[in-house]
Amino acid sequence: MKPLEGKVALVTGASRGIGRAIALRFASEGARICVNYSQSMNSAEVVVKEIEDSGGEAIARKANVANYNEVADMVAIIVKKFGTIHILVNNAGMSIPGDLLSMNEAQLLEMFRVNVLGTINCSKVAARQMVDQRYGKIVNIGSIAGIGTNFPGTTPYASTKASILVLTKRFALELGPSGVNVNSILPGFIETEMNTRGKTKEEWSNKTKEMSEKAMLRRIGQPQDIANAAVFLASDEASFITGQSLVIDGGRLDFLSHSG
C-alpha cells in the first residue's frame, strides 16, 4: 500500500515551487489533494491536471491563507468534496528582503500575516476536524533562516520563520493528546521562483555556484528534496515523531558552524 493511500491533504501555496512538488508527490503516494493558491489560478490548475493525468484526484482552491474566512471556506469545501482532511502542509509563504535599518513596517506585517498568521489560520481550521477524528498530520514549512543564517537581507523573513519553530512545538503539545502530529521542515536554499525571480540566467548561475559552496553537499536544493521528507512526516511511518523540525539544507547550517 502507498504511504498516503486514502488520505486527504491540503497543501497551501501549491501552485508552484516547493508546494507544487509536495502536492504532486503526495498524489503519487495515494493522497487526494487540495492545491491552494492565492493568485496563480492557472498554475494551480496545471498542477491539478498533472495529478489527474497520473490517475489521482485533486481540486484547486483559491484562498489567501492570511484570511481566516477564506481558509474556513476552503476547508469546508475539502470536507464536502473528500469527506475529511487528514494532512495539512503549511507551505504558503513569502519573502521580502530587509534589514533592521531598512525594515519596512507594512512589508514586515504582510510577511507575518502570510507566513505566521496563515500557518495559524490553516492549522486552527484543519485541527478542529483532525481533533474530532483523532487523527491528523500537520507539516509546517519553516526555514533555516528561522534558526540563524548569515544571509544578508533576511532579518524580517527570518523573524517570521523563527515563529514557525515555536508554533510547531506548541501545536504539537496542544494536539498530541488528540492523535495529531505536528512537525516542520526547515529548507535551505531551494531552486524556486522565490529565489530565481528577477535574476538573469547568468545571475542565477552565479547565485547557484555561491550557494552550493556554502553547503557540505556542494549543491543547492530542489523542491523534490523537501517533498521527499514531507511524505515521510505526513505518513504513519512518522507516527511517533512530533514537535520536531527537520533541517534539509545539504549541510549548510553545519558547514557555517564549522567555518574558520
Per CB under 6 A, which of residues 149..188 are in contact with ligand NAP?
A: 187
Minimal distance, residue 213 CB to ligand NAP, in Å: 16
Residue 93 sits in the site that holds ligand NAP (CB under 6 A): yes
Out of 96, 194, 241, 256, the only residue in the binding site for ligand NAP (CB under 6 A) is 194
Site string for ligand NAP, 38-57 (x = CB under 6 A): xxx-----------------
For residue 152 the three cell numbers come to 544578508
Q: Are 66 and 114 in contact (CB under 8 A)?
A: yes
Distance, CA of 33 to CA of 21 (rounded, Å): 12
Check residue 212 for interaction with ligand NAP (CB under 6 A).
Answer: no
Residues designated catalytic: 157
Q: Build a one-symbol-per-residue string for 55-74: x at contacts with ligand NAP by CB under 6 A, - elsewhere.
A: ---------xxx--------
Helix residue ranges, H only, the chain: 17-28, 41-53, 68-82, 105-111, 118-133, 155-175, 193-196, 201-212, 223-234, 252-258
18 is a contact residue toward ligand NAP (CB under 6 A): yes
Number of H helices, E strands in the chain: 10, 7
Rounded to a whole number of angstroms, the minimum distance from the CB of residue 140 to ligand NAP is 9
* Number of other residues whose CB lies within 10 A of the CB of residue 138: 27
Angstrom distance (rounded) from CA 255 to CA 227: 23
Asked if 94 is part of the footprint of ligand NAP (rule: CB under 6 A), the reply reads yes
By CB under 6 A, tell whether 192 contacts ligand NAP.
Answer: yes
Q: Which is nearer to ligand NAP, 35 or 130 (CB)?
A: 35
